[in-house]
Amino acid sequence: MTNYSPQDSTDGWEFKILRSMWGAFRKTERLHEILADEGRAGWVLVEKFDNGRIRLKRPTRARELDIKLDFDPYRTYIGPSENRIALTVAALVFGILVAIVFVAIVVARVNNRTPPSLMPPTPVEVSR
């Protein structure tokens, strides 16, 4: 990781880390597309940590142009965030559990109803 001098953080620069849960920075072409998009807001690459995280910086004076952008220049995720993925997985698991319970209830109700044709005959008393 890059160490910053006090001058870096006080001389009109701001930094951000951009994350991707799906490893969007793995492919060079995709990384260049993302950097070109971020470059419209004045962000430049400082370092690539791994396929899921990069550090960017921009001069603070670039904030003046933020109003003209069609995206949030302070976004920290490319693609879905960790929270969105977690909520999606939780919703899927909950939906599957509800479906299993529903099927179990239907099967139990069907098994408790024996059709009359399958019921054993009622014994008849014969009087002598």
Do residue 68 and residue 105 come from a single domain? no
Q: What's the one-letter identity of residue 113?
A: R
Q: How many domains is the chain built from?
A: 2
Q: What is the pTM of this model?
A: 0.63
**CB contact set of 53 (below 8 Å; sequence gap of 6+):** 17, 18, 19, 20, 25
Q: Does 42 reside within a domain?
A: yes
pLDDT at 9 over 80: no
Residues 63 and 89 in one domain: no
Over residues 104-117, mean pLDDT? 75
List the domain range (segments joined by +) for residue 18: 6-79
Query: What residue type is assigned to position 5 of the chain?
Result: S
Give per-residue pLDDT as tens, 62-71.
Answer: 999 899 999 8
